[in-house]
Structure 1
Amino acid sequence: MTIKRLFILLLLLAANVQIHAQEDIASQINPPLLQKYVDLAKEYYPKRKMYKASELSAKAKIGTAKAGYLESLNASYFYRPSNGTILDVNNPYSINGFQFGVNLNLGLFFRTPSLVKQAREEYNSASYLTKEYDILLEIDVKERYFEYLQWFNDLKVKNQAYIDNKAASDGLRYKFEKGEVSLDVYTKAKSLTSTASSEKLLAEVNMLKAKSSLEALLGKKMEEVK
């Protein structure tokens, strides 16, 4: 076997595995599982919790602003025993029984609607920020999931390429030992196998990085999500 034929054979094997992996990657997307990843990220990720807390805080301010209507009113009452005299220095009441009074703070009363409106707008703003971040977070989860699938399939390609190269190299070693191929051909095959091994390790590292990046959003291992 010549060096040229060896290279062509190994390249065809690698290309065939690569094309097969590219055709299969779309079919590996699991929509229900991906939605679980998105839901977990929205439930766990600290920055999303920060936006949600701001939204709830703004919502609570609406109730506080509405309380201004009650604060603008001041009710009071007085009580004079029925057996008291109408004019008495020590008990100067003119009417027996209860006396009620209501005071209205007009400034606060007329200012309260604008305060309620302001609180509502702040809540709406916080709510929109939460919704915007939910969209961005969902995109981030999907991108990291797709990147994980990409590197997962790349690892399968590189692993298969290494297996094929090693099988070819082992076969050439046997032929080299029998004197059927030259040392140069055998050396080239070993070099290709070494390169394939390095590429497989690099693909594994990239896959693990992508996996770790996705799990950072989920707050748990991917294996724990069913």
Structure 2
Amino acid sequence: MKKYTYFVFLFVLLTSKSVFAQDDIINQINTPLLQKYVDLAKQNYPKRQMFKSSELSAKAKIGVASATYLEAFNVSYFYRPDNATIINNSNPYSINGFQFGVYLNLGIFLRTPSLVKQAKEEYKAATFQTKEYDLILESEVRQKYYEYLQLFNDLKVKAQAYIDNKASSDGLKYKFEKGEVSLDVYSKAKAITSSAQSEKLLTELNLLKAKDTLETLIGQKLEDVK
């Protein structure tokens, strides 16, 4: 009965540590740092830059469409020297000096407002797409940051649990060699230590993955963000 009580107490102790560590995560959130991560992601993440480039391209098309108004007008001039005769057979209606003419292409002129409106709507749509992706990207950065914090704290708990279990296992090994505890008790202690070590290594791996994902989003190493 004493052996069973010992292992139950050990399990409850380790579980309590994990719960307390998770409860403290919300107090460890660095809001200014998280905002820097979000801003860096909007600045560096390639897919977001693709949306921003599409937005700028759509904006430029408004100017191009507006310039179409100028294509509807054609300005020309004709110059006749002052010493030439006023009327001749080849050009009986010309006069000496400069003559100017302005011509209007009615088709282009009437079509241009529609082109400008279309360009403005395309720019508006591109702007909405950028804003939508900003929301998605910000949410993803926040989630990965929270996941990184959770794994960082979980790793501290798992590392301490492994240290504690190994110390207990080493102590039981000494007692087992002296014949003070049974092989069953010592074997269970070794199994708990091995499990604790595996959990620690798995948490380390997941922490590295979360860190890599967050760095990919923001375009910088976490250590370089101040």
- In structure 2, the residue matched to 1:115 is 115
**Cα displacement (A) at 1:12:** 2.7
User: Which stretch of the first structure deviates more once superposed, 208-217 or 57-66?
Assistant: 208-217
TM-score using structure 1 length: 0.94
- In structure 2, the residue matched to 1:196 is 196
Helix, strand or coil at the partner of 2:4: helix
Q: How many residue pairs end up in the alignment?
A: 226
**Cα displacement (A) at 1:90:** 6.3
1:13 and 1:164 in contact (8 A); partners too: no
- In structure 2, the residue matched to 1:44 is 44
1:62 and 1:119 in contact (8 A); partners too: yes
Q: Where in structure 1 are there 5+ consecutive unaligned residues?
A: none
- In structure 1, the residue matched to 2:175 is 175
Aligned mates of 1:89, 1:214 — CA distance in 2 = 83
Aligned mates of 2:207, 2:142 — CA distance in 1 = 15
1:5-84 matches, within 5 Å, as: 5-84=5-84
The CA deviation string for residues 61-83 of structure 1, in whole angstroms up to 9 with x for no partner, is 10111011100000011111111
Helix, strand or coil at the partner of 1:167: helix
Aligned mates of 2:99, 2:110 — CA distance in 1 = 27
Helix, strand or coil at the partner of 1:179: coil
1:68-147 matches, within 5 Å, as: 68-89=68-89, 92=92, 94-147=94-147
Identity rate, percent: 68
Cα RMSD for the two superposed structures: 1.6
1:76 and 1:102 in contact (8 A); partners too: yes
Give yes or no for the alignment of 1:150 onto 2:150: yes
Helix, strand or coil at the partner of 1:67: helix
2:22 and 2:154 in contact (8 A); partners too: no
Task: Give the aligned residue type for 1:33.
Answer: L
Q: Where in structure 2 are there 5+ consecutive unaligned residues?
A: none
